[in-house]
Structure 1
Amino acid sequence: MQDKIADLLKDINGKDRISDFNMDLFENDMLDSLGIAQLVAALEESFNIEIDPEDILPENFSTVNEIDALVRKYKA
């Protein structure tokens, strides 16, 4: 699932694919507030989930691993 998330991030930010899933996406300019909105839509479509607006917090999107944990929460 992490690879798919990394691919979605690459599509959104147009930068190189992320290989370090613990890298801080905000500090490395890979994600911003607009990017979060785009990513949420892409995650919901790709994984057939609906993310609760209360979970759309920067800390849930700081790394690929954090995003993976959030998606797994909704896939369970």
Structure 2
Amino acid sequence: MQEKIADLLRDINGKERISDFNMDLFENDMLDSLGIAQLVAALEENFNVEIDPEDILPENFSTINEIDALVHKDKV
């Protein structure tokens, strides 16, 4: 799932694909607040989940691994 999240993120930000799933996305200018909104929509569509608005916090989107954990949490 991390691979697909990395692909979605690349589609959103137009930058190189991320291979380090623990890299801080904000510090490396790979994600911003608008990108989070776009990514939430893409995650919900691609993984058939509904992300709780209360979970849309920067700390849940800081790395691909954090995003993966969030998607799995909302898939239950």
Q: Distance in 2 between matches of 1:3 and 1:73?
A: 18
Q: Aligned partners of 2:67, 2:52: CA distance in 1, in Å? A: 13
Ranges of 4+ aligned residues in structure 1 off by more than 4 Å = none
RMSD, matched Cα: 0.4
Partner Cα separation in structure 2 for residue 11 and residue 31 of structure 1: 12
Q: Find the counterpart in structure 2 of residue 21 from structure 1.
A: 21
How does 1:44-55 map onto structure 2 within 5 Å? 44-55=44-55
| Secondary structure of the structure 2 residue equivalent to 1:42 | helix
- Note if 1:59 corresponds to 2:59: yes
Query: What residue is the counterpart of 2:35 in the other structure?
Result: 35
Query: Could you list the per-position Cα deviations for residues 11-70 of structure 1 after superposition, in whole angstroms to 9, with x for gaps in the alignment?
Result: 000000000000000000000000000000000000001101000000000000000000
Counterpart amino acid of 1:28?
N
Aligned 8 A contact 2:21 2:64 in 1: yes
| CA–CA separation in structure 1 for the residues paired with 2:51 and 2:72 | 11
Identity between Structure 1 and Structure 2 (%)? 88
How many residue pairs get matched?
A: 76
TM, length-normalised to structure 2: 0.99
Task: Give 3-state SS (helix, strand or coil) of 2:30's partner.
Answer: coil
For structure 1, the 5+ residue unaligned runs are: none
Once residues 26 and 20 of structure 1 are traced to their aligned partners in structure 2, the CA distance between those partners, rounded to angstroms, is 14
Give the TM-score of the pair, scaled to structure 1: 0.99
